[in-house]
Structure formats: structure tokens, C-alpha cells
Amino acid sequence: MMPVSDLLMEGVNLMLLGMGIVFIFLTILVVTMSGMSRLAAAIDKKQPQAVPAPQPAVPKAGEDEELVAVISAAISRFRSR
Amino acid sequence: MMPVSDLLMEGVNLMLLGMGIVFIFLTILVVTMSGMSRLAAAIDKKQPQAVPAPQPAVPKAGEDEELVAVISAAISRFRSR
Amino acid sequence: MMPVSDLLMEGVNLMLLGMGIVFIFLTILVVTMSGMSRLAAAIDKKQPQAVPAPQPAVPKAGEDEELVAVISAAISRFRSR
Amino acid sequence: MGIANLEWGQVLMMLVGCVLIYLAAVKNFEPLLLLPIGFGAILSNIPVAGIAGPDGLLGYVYHVGIETGVFPLLIFMGVGALTDFSALIAMPQTLFLGAAAQFGIFATLLGALALNLVPGFEFSMADASAIAIIGGADGPTAIFLASRLSPDLLGAIAVAAYSYMALVPIIQPPIMKALTSEADRKVTMQQLRPVSKLEKVLFPFSVLLLCILFLPSAAPLIGMLMFGNLLREVGVVDRLSRAAQNEIINIVTIFLGLAVGSKLSADKFLTVETLGILALGALAFCIGTAAGVLMGKLMHKLTGGKVNPLIGAAGVSAVPMAARVVNRVGLEADHHNFLLMHAMGPNVAGVIGSAVAAGVLLALVGG
Amino acid sequence: MGIANLEWGQVLMMLVGCVLIYLAAVKNFEPLLLLPIGFGAILSNIPVAGIAGPDGLLGYVYHVGIETGVFPLLIFMGVGALTDFSALIAMPQTLFLGAAAQFGIFATLLGALALNLVPGFEFSMADASAIAIIGGADGPTAIFLASRLSPDLLGAIAVAAYSYMALVPIIQPPIMKALTSEADRKVTMQQLRPVSKLEKVLFPFSVLLLCILFLPSAAPLIGMLMFGNLLREVGVVDRLSRAAQNEIINIVTIFLGLAVGSKLSADKFLTVETLGILALGALAFCIGTAAGVLMGKLMHKLTGGKVNPLIGAAGVSAVPMAARVVNRVGLEADHHNFLLMHAMGPNVAGVIGSAVAAGVLLALVGG
Amino acid sequence: MGIANLEWGQVLMMLVGCVLIYLAAVKNFEPLLLLPIGFGAILSNIPVAGIAGPDGLLGYVYHVGIETGVFPLLIFMGVGALTDFSALIAMPQTLFLGAAAQFGIFATLLGALALNLVPGFEFSMADASAIAIIGGADGPTAIFLASRLSPDLLGAIAVAAYSYMALVPIIQPPIMKALTSEADRKVTMQQLRPVSKLEKVLFPFSVLLLCILFLPSAAPLIGMLMFGNLLREVGVVDRLSRAAQNEIINIVTIFLGLAVGSKLSADKFLTVETLGILALGALAFCIGTAAGVLMGKLMHKLTGGKVNPLIGAAGVSAVPMAARVVNRVGLEADHHNFLLMHAMGPNVAGVIGSAVAAGVLLALVGG
Ligand code: NA
Ligand code: NA
Ligand code: NA
């Protein structure tokens, strides 16, 4: 094992490097998240109708409303849960 | 690796054999299931009272109806679930 | 394998020793449980207020009653379940 | 083609599996275990597929869950989390009944050794001990001990243990009636005192402490049983208690059953030894019941008539079936004599008693 | 720093993972599987971390759950516990539709072998069989067979299988309409007879019996499917049935998806072979659908018009999506023609059919 | 007999186990973990039984779940599925508070190395790193890092981490009050903006992307955390989300606790090093809290008074305890100042922060 003083020197380095990386990482994350939020707002504004549309596989209400009832309850439970 | 033409020959064999087995298997299953259904109908007709009878271990209602309540809830849950 | 008579001799020994240990063990357990019950009664008598007290981390009702509602439902579920 | 490779032994074992499933499904014989065991027996005996082999599903499950002893211990944790020991805490002297009923175990041990006098039987001391534990009327204990002492007999032992547990309502009443008088059976017992939460929390520690001091070989079984019970009673870890009572025990039960079924192969099950095991198992239940009832009579005398001797029969465990049987026989004698709660004491005492007996056998015969 | 070690292939595979997650989350493409697969693909391609390596989480999960075949078999148990086979029991002749649709599998097998004529492709017979099973339209069967016959292609095969299952509402209708007349599609079918509980309980044994006699190599798949179904129908083991339908299948689905994703590495996925697999998979679904519909037309003739040919399309499996598609196409032709229950018969028959086909391929090509 | 084989060290460790159970059951100290850890400690120190040995239940569980790192990662998946990151998304700058609080980790690292000056201590760089992570106030991160860098100290590190997390309501308030003025604590913060579903779904990808680019060694932890969170937020895989939040995390918590307890053996726990670890752990929490509050004061200044410095204390993680403590201290200063939601931002930021710190330590000190 190396002498304690060397260990401590290395520890100080590790501390500076570690806190540095933590701060840089989280700073970039702050920037990224702000960008992400703006992007999300832009997308949401552009296609506010996007939410109901993209479910091609779900049966349309009314059409086979009665039918869904007859699908084996378990399978439908598996899919919808 | 064998030449593609041989592979293809073998593939054709596999296809014929495979589809043959699938069809034969499912044909026998059709027959078996029909027989099974007739058997089930016969059994059900023969002993329509068979359903309620065969539960020797379950306490008779009325007799210890009150008692079931006192069995540690968890154990009874384990058994009855 | 040893002769059956020896096995049987050993079996008799095992039976005597085994039943002896079972009885001694459960007898000591009877004594221990009686002592435990008396101890429990003594503790319960000594500090009847002990039950509501020792939950330092749980938020006091009224104080942040409203707040508990806003904690992310899932985390609170995890803790309280 | 499977049909060409099918051997008679495999066909017979599949029929055995079907019989187990029939008993489970139609006769309600411990269906949670016997149904997966029966299906596992069918799957394991399919030629070519090798489902119970070293690379097959059931082979893996057996290797991971039973060879290691993990599954029975997890079941024990779940049983602990499902069991309310209040009746025992209120009446600790019912432990004597739980102790007496273990005589079924040790008498059967002698019986198994004696069978060696019959040509065709060659039970070692370890085999005899594993067979004897059937008398404990406790499935996971039997599987745990058999996996340690006599893996080859595990299938037959587990089948016998669960089958006779299911047969308790048929096996016990005649013995109970033969050994007691009408007056005995009419004895009413006073209501049990309430048990405080603190007692329930201290209980698992009391049992574990004695186990540590006097019988550490029983510590895995007793320890997990008491851990499950502590999860249940301590009140601050409901999430974990529910996981032990539901998800874990249900999942493990499926795999335990299938894996036990994987030991039902023709060469190990279709032997004269299996017949011996089935006979010895019945004997074990009868002797255990009788010993419990006789100890009940002794306690009846010593307590000046406060104890109904019938409750001794519940000492074999088979929770909660044996306690219900006691209650039914009591009601037959007197329509107002409810013994269920009093029988729960010896009933759960029997679980501890057979775990202790298993510990004794492990310590003296194992390793 | 990760960025310095990132290779282009890894970046592309992460994008593939993102596409899969997009399809799952936004387009609702089999999200229960494709979302974990996509995320697993991202995690596995992170440099330095080695998450899919021998000491990484996904590496362990793959080793324990997929190399052994355990996970797909547990999913099959869950599918069995979730599936109501009543429609098939009421109309066993729909098994022919389930059989015909398996032609997609074997035609694709030939197609995969023929691709060897194109430079850059080198599919062995085992590879071709694993690819062909995509035509079975059944995820766990495809994963099981690929893990046995062609582990290197497992990632692409699983992705193709689940993607095309999700695309069934887009792939099938044009083929169904091209092969049937308006009059065909308007055929109404008589209501299914009720099925007794006894039939439902005997059904798994019937299927398993044939499997044992004639195709033991399919026994692991068929056996676990039927075990799950027995747990469901037998009525006395609800605890176990619910565990199979919920806890076990949910937990296994998460890990199965992540582990499949761990096979999406650049060197194995970003190849011309993957393009071939995707093309062949689409072909398989088309041919399977067409074969099912044509067999439906034959049955329509033979039964004197009692069978609507559309229900043949449900024979590819993809439960319950394909049956819903049949129902929708039927309603388009006649607003009062509800075919859903009649399509459930061939739909679940297709599950059995592709398990049988997998057994054939295992027996003839594997081992 | 167990009593003859009991050594003093084992007795003491069992008492340590009892103390942990007492703290869990009566004082409500992180009972979900400390109760199984305490019971595991008792079971592991039973002589003869060998429950923590290579063939014992806890030995197996440790080998399968902790040596591999699987259990902490699954807990992280569950934590992700249970955590709502909205507060952080609405106020991403609270990540600085989560960053500052990690100073507790690195200061403790120096402290652990400095302890080597005291005779009897010999902490390697890996040991010191594993000890330092206690300052992350995050149980699964601590167990994961300790299992990688210093398995011998794992028991003491896990016990210290969970104990101090439970002590947060006692440790933090004095430090918070000493470093802030009454006026500081009365600062009210404006209500958080609502966060859209799309943001919540993109969030896990944002975090994972940075992790991939800049710190792949943190990818297993961050990846599983974000996978769990994606399951929660994506909305189409509720079955999987519920499995991660309930069955998986509950089952794993039981086994993780027991397995950690199996490392509490006398020769590894009853050492002067454990005392050092306990002292350093307390130090770590104090320094982390102080650093968080001081960064809060800086943000208070820089934002012109919009940030209440108290919320910096929540940056240590210990979710959701630390956020509640902030709220309580805030309410003491002003009865209408509800800071809970604002403190949730730095609180969950602290989880990410300590996972990042763990990644740094793994990259620089580990293998
Ligand atoms: Na017993
Ligand atoms: Na199919
Ligand atoms: Na932290």
C-alpha cells in the first residue's frame, strides 16, 4: 500500500476531478433539459391533435363496442393493462 | 456448407414434410377434440350431480359457517384463493 | 450396509433421542413463551403510551396534511404500503 | 415420433400424474401442490423432449430451487407470513400436543427400518428419516428434508405427504373417536385470552432464540418461518409481508410443484419402495394422530378437565385441515362445542414441532 | 469518456432502439415487448459499460433466461393461463385454418434458403428455420426456436416477429380483400355452442396427449401452454392461475424484452442478413394470411357456405389482433356481421399450429 | 447443540441484528430494508447452520443477487418507476443543488483516507470510495458500489447508509438552521409550472444520453433508473410499470435485505473500521447537507431571492425524507410556506447526482 500522504494527494485529485465531473455533467443536463422542454413545447404546439390519433390497433368505440365484451376477458386484460 | 441447390431441395422436402405433419397433427386433433367433447357430454349427462359432491374437505354451510370466520384470515385466504 | 438388527437398534436410539429433544425443546419453549408473555404484559403496562409515540418520521396530522397529498403518489405508496 | 420411444414405465408415470391431477381437481386433494406435481410428472416422462433433463425447464428448476433447498424455505417464509400464532401464544401448553404428535415421525422411522426385513427393501438410515418426516404432515418440511437426505425418494415422499394431508378428514376421525369417550368429546373449553401485538412480535424471537441455542440444524426452517411471521406481525413492512404471502409463495408453489413432479420417473417411483413409503405414510399419520389424542387425554386429566382431548389430533399440523376436523368431530358430539380456535394452537405447534424433528434428524443423520 | 469510445455501429443500434421505442410508445406496436427490447438495445450498445457482457445485467439475464429457453416457456405458460380456448373447442374444424396459415412458415423457409443465391447471404438450414418461424406470428415461439437454432439472429428475428404482429392491421386487409368476393365477406356464421367446463378441462390433456404421441419435440412449448390453460380452467388453483397471468408473465416480459434487446449489437444486426430477415418476415405474414384465407374459401365450399373465408386470416395467430382485423373487415362488408368470436377459433388454433411447426423444425433441423 | 458452538462475536452480531430490527420496528428507521438486514444478520450468525455459507440460503442469494449487482439495479428500476421527476423537469436548475450535495461524498473520501493516519485503519482507495458513497444517501447506489469496490465492507456501508437516511430528520435541521437566517427560511417560492407528458417521456432519454456520452460507467445505474421511469411515464405498458413498482421491488427488497445481512459477520463487522465507517457516514451526511444549503444560498443570491436556500438540503437524496424535512423546517419559519414540491426537485436530482458520483468513482477507482 502506498504511503498515506500519497493516498491523500490522490484523494484530493479524485475529489476535485469528481466534483468537477458531477458539476459539469449536471450543468450539461440542465442545458439539455431546458432544450428538451422547449422541443417538447414546440412539438406539442405543432401537433396538438397528435395525442388521440396514433392508436391504429384500438377498436373504434361504437363500432365493435359490444364485441370487445366478448373477447376472452383475460386476453383483453393482458393487452389493456 | 452444401450448395444452394441442395439446400433448396432439402428445403422443399422439409416444407412438404413439415406442412404434412402440421396438417396430420391438427387433423388428428380435430378428431380427438370431437371425441373429447362427446365424452364430456356423456359424462356430464351421466352424473349431473357430480359437480357439487366432490369436495369432502370444505366445511358444510350452516354447520360451521360462523367458524370459518374465525380461522386466521390469511390461511383461509391462502386455501380459498 | 449394516445388518437390519443394528439399524433397528440405532433407530430405537434415534427415536428416544428424537422424541426427547422434541419434548425438551417444546417444554423450554412453553416456559419461554410464558415468560415472554409476562414480559410483554409488563412492558405494555409500563408504557401504554409507547405505541403512538415512536414514529418520528411520520408527518404530524394537520400540520402538513394537505402536503402529503402532493407527494408523488407512488413514492408515498411505496413507503406506506 | 414420440409413440415409438414411449416406454411402459413412462406411460404408467403419466397415468400416475393424471391420477394426482384428478385427485387435485375433482377430489380437492391439496390442489395447489398436487396439480403442478401431477403435471410435472406428465411433462417429465415425455420421451425425447428431456424436460426434466439437465437442459430441460424442469431440470433447471429442480437444480436451482430444490437441490439448493431454496424453494421449501421460501414456502416456509410464506407460511410464516400467512399464519396467526395467537392461539398458540394464548395457550402455550398446547405445544405438548404438537410435540406428542411428532411420535408419528419417529415410529415411522422404526417402521421404515423394519421394512428392511422384507426382501426388496433397502432403506438406509437417511432414507428412513426422510420417509418418517411424512408423519410431520407438513409439505415443505418433507421436501426440504428429503432433498437433503434422500433425493431419490423425494417424489414419492412429497406425493405421500400431500396426499395424506388431503386425507386427514378421512384418516383422523375414526382414530379420534376410538380413543375418546363421548364425554371427552363434549368437553367445552374456555375462550382464549386476547393476545397483545407485542407478544406477537416477540414470539418469533422466542422461538428462534431456542432454536439457536439448542437446535441450530433446524435454523433454516424455523428461521424463515419466523422471519415470515415477523414480517406479518411487525406492522411496518406491509409491502414485504404481502409479497411473502402472495407473489413469492404463489410463484414458488408453481415451480416447486413442477420440480417435485420432475422426480416422478418410472425407475424411481414405480418400485416396491414407493408402496412401502405410501404404507408408512398412512401409518405415520395414524400414529401421530393417536399420540396427539392420548397426550390430549393426559392434559385433560392434569388440567382437571379443562382440555378437550380431541384437540391433540390437530398436533400433526396439516394446517388448517386438522383443526377443522377437530372442530367437526367436536360439533358431532355437542352442537354448541366450537373447538376450532383451541385446535389452532396445537395445529401451528405441530408445524414448529415437525420443523424441530426435522432439525433433529438433520443433525443426527444428515451430513 | 463514453463519447470517445462510441463507434458508429453502436450509435446506429441506439437509434434502432429509439425507433423501436417510438413504434411501441407512439404507434402502439406491441409495446409490452418492443419497448423493453428497444431500451435493451440502447443499454447494450453503451461503450465501456458492458451491460450486455458476461458480467453485465443483461448478459446475466440472457444467459439465465433465454439461453436456457426458460423465459419463452414461462411466457407460454402465461399465455395459456390468459387464453380462453372455448371458440376452438366449439368449432374444432377451425384447426384446419390454423394449419393452413403455417404455410407462411415453410414458404419462408424456402425463401430464406433461396436468398443464399444472392451474394452476401449465407443462411444455414438452422438459420432459415429460425427465420421462417416469424411466419408463426407468435413472439415467444419465435424467440424459443431462434435461441435453439440460431442465437446470432435472435435479435433480428424477435424484432421482425413483434413488428409484423403489430402491423397485422395493415398487412392483412388488402390480402383478405383481394382473395375474397364481397359476397364471401358478407357470410354470417351461426352462433357458437356453449362449451362445458369439463370440455375446457379435458382440452389441454387432449392437445398434450397428441403432442406426446406424435411430436415430443414440441412438448416444452405445448406442455407449458397447456399447463397454464389447465391452471386457468380447473378452477381449484386460482392463486396459481393469477400468478401465471400476472406476476410471472409481467416480470418475465420485462426481462425477456431487455435480454432480447441485448442481442441487438451492431455486428449482428447491422447486416444485410437483417434486411433479408425483415423482407422474409413480411413475406411470411402475407403468405400465411393468404393460405389461411384460401383454406377458408375451401371450407366455405365444403360446408355449403357456413364458414366465412375471412376467418382463415386469423389462423396466423397474432392473438387477438388478427381476430379483431377479421372482425373489422367483416363489418366493413356488412354492418351486422360480427365475426370476432368465430375468428378466435382459428386465432388460438394458430398458436398451437405454430408451436407444432416449431416442434417439427426442432426435430428435423435442430440437435 | 448450538449453545456450545456459539462464539462471542456471533452473539454480539445477533444483538446488532436485534438493534437494527428494533430501530426498524419501533423507531421506524427505513424498516423495509433494516428489518430484513437485521434478521439476515441473526440468521447468518447461527453456528453450525451455515445459512450464509456457500450452500446456505443467504449465501446463494448473496451470490446471485449482490455479487452480480443485479439486485441494486432492479431496485433502481423500481425507484425509477416509483419516482415522479416533474418537479425537477419544471426547475432543472435544482440539479445544481443535487450536484453540490455530492460534496459530502468526496469530502468523506478524503476523510476515509485520512483515517489511515490513525493506527488500526487501512482503507485502500477502493475502500474509501465505497465508504464515501454513504454520503450519496441512496441505499441501492451504496450497495452497488460497495459490491463492486469493497465487498468486505458492504455490510457496514449498507447499515450506515440506511441508518443515516432514517436519521435525516434529526441530522439535517440543526445544520439547515445554522447556515440560514430566519429571513432565508421564510422565502416563498412561486408555484411550479405544469409539466407535459411529452417532457416526462423525453426526460429519461435526455439523462441517459448524457450518461452515454460522458459517463458510461454510470450507465447500469442511470440506465435502469431511467428504464423504470420510462415504463412509468410512457403510458402504454402499465402492466410492466406496476410489476416494476410492486412485485419486483418488493421481492427484491426482501432478498436484498437478507443478503446484506449475511455480510454482517463478526470478523468483518466487529472491527474498528466499522466505527470509522459509522463516523464517516455521519460526517458525509452533515457535509452533504451543508454543501447543499450553501449552494442554495448562492442560488438565492443569483436568482434575486427566488430560491429558498433550505431546499438545498434535499439535494442529498434520501427521497422523500429529506424533502419532507425541508418542508417542516420551512413551515417552522412561516406557517404558510409549503416547500415540499420545490424540495422534490433537488431531492430527485440528488439521486441522479449520487449515481453520477458512483459512476465517477467506478471509472476512476474501479477495476
Ligand atoms: Na407437524
Ligand atoms: Na401461428
Ligand atoms: Na444523493
String of DSSP letters for E280-339? HHHHHHHHHHHHHHHHHHHHHHHTTS-S-GGGGGGGG--TTHHHHHHHHHHHHH-TT---
D-chain CB neighbours of B73 within 8 Å are 84
How many CB atoms are closer than 10 A to CB E82? 24
- Do you know the residue count of chain E? 367
Beta carbons within 10 angstroms of residue A55's beta carbon? 13
Classify residue D88 by burial, with Cβ atoms within 10 Å: 0-12, 13-18, 19+.
Answer: buried
Task: Compute the distance between CA of residue D267 and CA of residue A28 in angstroms, rounded to an integer.
Answer: 68
Measured from the alpha carbon of residue F349, the closest ligand is 3
Contacts across the B-E interface (CB distance below 8 Å): 115
- Check CB contact under 8 Å for D340 and B59: no
Q: Which residues contact E251 (CB under 8 A, 6 or more apart)?
A: F243, F247, F248
What CA–CA distances, in Å, run from F144 to D281, F75, F117, F218, F259? 48, 10, 28, 11, 13
CB contact under 8 A, F331 and C64: yes
| pLDDT recorded at residue E1 | 57
- Nearest-angstrom CA–CA distance, D9 and D197: 55
- Cβ contacts (< 8 Å) between F28 and chain C: which residues? 54-58
Answer yes or no: are the C-beta atoms of D34 and D20 closer than 8 Å.
yes
In E, minimum Cα distance to D57 occurs at: E70
Residue B66 is predicted with a pLDDT of 33
F303: cell is: 436568482
Q: How many CB atoms lie within 10 A of CB D117?
A: 11
Alpha-carbon distance D43 to E230, whole Å?
A: 14
Q: Nearest to residue F142, comparing CAs of F163, F124, F172?
A: F163
- Exposed, middle or buried by CB within 10 Å (0-12, 13-18, 19+), for D366? middle
Give residue B74's pLDDT band: very low, low, confident or very high (50, 70, 90): very low
Which pLDDT does position E108 carry in this prediction?
Answer: 94
Q: Which ligand is nearest to the CA of D221?
A: 1
Considering every ligand atom shown, identify the ligand nearest to the alpha carbon of residue F285 and give its number. Answer: 3
Interchain contact, C67 vs F338, CB within 8 Å: yes
- Interface check for E96 against chain B (CB to CB < 8 A): the answer is yes
Q: Which of F205, F136, F72 is nearest to F355 (CA)?
A: F136
pLDDT value at B59 more than 50: no
pLDDT tens digits, one per residue of C19-67 = 999 999 999 999 999 999 999 999 988 865 444 433 333 333 333 333 3
Confidence of residue D367 (pLDDT cuts 50, 70, 90): low
**In angstroms, rounded to a whole number, what is the distance separating the alpha carbons of residues D349 and D99?**
8
CA of D357 to the centre of ligand 1 (A): 9
Percentage of residues in chain B with pLDDT exceeding 70? 56
The ligand placed nearest to the CA atom of residue E346 is 2
Residue F84: which of F191, F195, F193 has the closest Cα?
Answer: F195
The neighbour count for residue D182, using CB atoms within 10 Å, is: 10
Q: Which chain E residues contact residue A59 at CB under 8 A? A: 324, 328
Closest partner CB to D82 (pick from B58, B63, B78): B78
Q: Do chains A and C touch (3 or more CB pairs under 8 A)?
A: no
pLDDT at position D115 is: 94
CB-CB under 8 Å, F242 with E250: yes
Rg of chain F, C-alpha, whole Å: 20
Out of E81, E169, E340, the one facing A71 most closely (by C-beta) is E340
B45 pLDDT band, cuts 50/70/90, is confident
| Chains in contact with D via at least 3 Cβ–Cβ pairs below 8 Å | B, C, E, F
User: pLDDT at residue A59 above 80?
Assistant: no
Q: What are the E-state strand segments in chain F?
A: none
- CB contact (8 A) between residue F230 and residue E35: yes
- The closest ligand to the CA of B26 turns out to be 2
pTM of the predicted model as reported, rounded to 2 decimal places: 0.91
DSSP 8-state assignment for residue F246: I
Of F14, F25, F32, Cβ closest to residue D240? F32
% pLDDT > 70, chain D: 99
E101 CA distance to ligand 2 middle (Å): 7
- Rg, Å, chain B Cα set: 27
What is the rounded distance in angstroms from the CA atom of residue D74 to the CA atom of residue D162?
A: 18
Q: Does A76 have pLDDT greater than 60?
A: no
Which of D69, D235, D247 minimises the CB distance to F57? D69
Q: Which residues contact A38 (CB under 8 A, 6 or more apart)?
A: none
Say whether pLDDT at E116 is over 70.
yes
Predicted pLDDT of residue F2: 63
Residue to test with chain D: of B75, B76, B77, B81, most D Cβ within 10 A: B75
Does residue D183 surpass a pLDDT of 70? yes
pLDDT of E2 strictly over 70: no
CA distance F166 to E317: 53
Helix axes E70-82, E249-261, angle to 10 degrees: 140
If one counts every other C-beta atom within 10 angstroms of the C-beta of residue F235, the result is 13
* Residue D7 confidence class, pLDDT cut points 50, 70, 90: confident
Q: Does F316 touch chain A (CB under 8 A)?
A: no
Shortest CA gap A54–chain F (Å): 12
> Which ligand lies nearest to the CA atom of residue D349 in the structure?
1
Q: What spacing in Å lies between the alpha carbon of C63 and ligand 3's midpoint?
A: 27
Closest Cα of chain B to E356: distance in Å?
A: 6
Dist. CA E353–CA E347, nearest whole Å: 10
Rounded mean pLDDT, E230-254: 96
* Partner residue facing F169 (CB), from C56, C66, C75: C56
Put simply, the answer to whether A73 touches E344 (Cβ < 8 Å) is no
Query: Is E181 exposed, middle or buried (CB count within 10 Å of its CB: 0-12, 13-18, 19+)?
Result: exposed
Pick the range with the lowest mean pLDDT from B50-59, E7-16, E248-257.
B50-59
Mean pLDDT of E23-41: 95
**F213 with E1: Cβ contact below 8 A:** yes
Supply the ipTM of this predicted assembly: 0.89
Quickly count: other Cβ atoms within 10 Å of residue E101's Cβ: 39
Farthest CA pair distance, chain C: 79
Nearest-CA distance from B40 to chain D in Å? 14
D15 touches chain C (CB under 8 A): no
Examine chains B and E and say if they touch (3+ CB pairs below 8 A).
yes
The closest of F332, F189, F303, F261 to F17, measured between CA atoms, is F261
Mutant choice from D89, D202, D221 vs C, greatest count of C C-beta within 10 A = D202
How far apart are alpha carbons D340 and D320 in whole angstroms? 9
Q: How far is the CA of F214 from the centre of ligand 3 (A)?
A: 19
How far from the centroid of its chain's Cα atoms is residue E137's Cα? 3
Round the average pLDDT of chain E to a whole number and report it. Answer: 94
Query: pLDDT at residue D130 above 50?
Result: yes
Query: Nearest by CB to F331, which of C55, C63, C74?
Result: C63
Instruction: Choose the closest CB to E214 out of B10, B25, B34.
Output: B25
Query: Which chain F residues are within 8 Å of C71, Cβ to Cβ?
Result: 320, 323-324, 340, 344
E224 interaction partners in chain D (CB closer than 8 Å): 57
C19 and D106 within 8 Å at the Cβ level: the answer is yes
Nearest-CB residue to F216 (from E14, E36, E47): E47
Low-confidence ranges of chain F (pLDDT < 50): none
- Kindly list the residues from chain C whose CB atom is less than 8 angstroms away from the CB atom of residue D106: 14-15, 18-19
d(CA A6, CA D50): 61
Nearest-10 Cα torsion for D327, D316, C40, F42: -150
Please state, in angstroms and rounded to a whole number, the distance separating the CA atoms of residues F285 and F317: 10
pLDDT band at B41 (very low <50, low <70, confident <90, very high): very high
Which ligand places an atom closest to the C-alpha of F138? 3
Give residue ranges of A with CB < 8 Å to any E CB. Answer: 54-59, 63-64, 66-67, 70-79
For E323-335, the pLDDT digits (tens) are 999 999 999 999 9
E342 touches chain A (CB under 8 A): no
Contacts of F239 (CB under 8 A, 6+ apart): A78, A81, E32, E246, E250, E253
**Burial category of E71 from C-beta neighbours within 10 Å (exposed 0-12, middle 13-18, buried 19 and up):** buried
Our CA angle for E271, E274, E278, nearest 5°, is 155
Contacts of D304 (CB under 8 A, 6+ apart): none
Average pLDDT score over residue span E74-96? 95
Record: contact C28-D124, CB cut-off 8 A = no
Q: Which of E222, E130, E162, E189 is CA-nearest to residue E312? A: E189
CA F357 – ligand 3 centroid, Å: 9
CB pairs under 8 A between B and D: 59
Say how far apart CA D121 and CA D127 lie, in whole Å.
Answer: 11
Neighbours of F4 (CB within 10 A): 8
Write down which chains contact chain A via at least 3 CB pairs under 8 A: E, F
* Residue with grid cell 420421451, as numbered in its chain: D47
Q: Do residues F201 and E35 lie in contact, with contact meaning Cβ atoms separated by under 8 Å? A: no
